[in-house]
Structure 1
């Protein structure tokens, strides 16, 4: 049941939209193209097994872990706050 300005199903629409945005963001960050033989950050060799497992890989494991950690800091931000929560 919706209350105030929200329509029926508004909460589910917000959840669905947030999930769609997260999936689109994850897909846009997938590597594409041919894998590099050396990391573009530190120039360390990228193992053959990693290049075969992840097509288009551009970073070594250590640099990828550091990048993933840095990108995780901004995750979870709800930019679609309902009008009710903005009024509180």
Structure 2
């Protein structure tokens, strides 16, 4: 069902595009290359099990958890741009 000036299927296309954008952002965040032996932030050793489980890891578990907690979740981009969604 189209709404206003949009064509049929536009809302689903916007949802699909938003999901695809988020997947691409998440894939770019995946570490690559050789894992570090020591954490880049605190210098503590990174356990061998973590280095093998996450190839390219650069942070210890504690520093990674803190970075994840501080990180902006992204999203928030209003593809639809409708007046109602902007008022919320």
TM range (shorter): 0.7 to 0.9
Q: Normalising by the residue count of structure 1, what TM-score does the alignment of the two structures yield?
A: 0.88
CA contact 2:35–2:56 (8 Å) conserved in 1: yes
User: Paired residue for 2:76?
Assistant: 77
Q: Secondary structure at the match of 2:18?
A: helix
Which stretches of structure 1, 4 residues or more, deviate above 6 A after TM superposition?
none
Q: What 5-or-longer segments of structure 1 have no aligned partner?
A: none
Q: In 2 relative to 1, CA 54–86 (structure 1 residues): closer, same or farther, beyond 3 Å?
A: closer
1:4-83 alignment runs, 5 A limit: 4-71=4-71, 73-83=72-82
Measure the CA separation in 2 of the matches of 1:16 and 1:74: 18
How many Å apart are 1:27 and its aligned residue?
A: 0.2
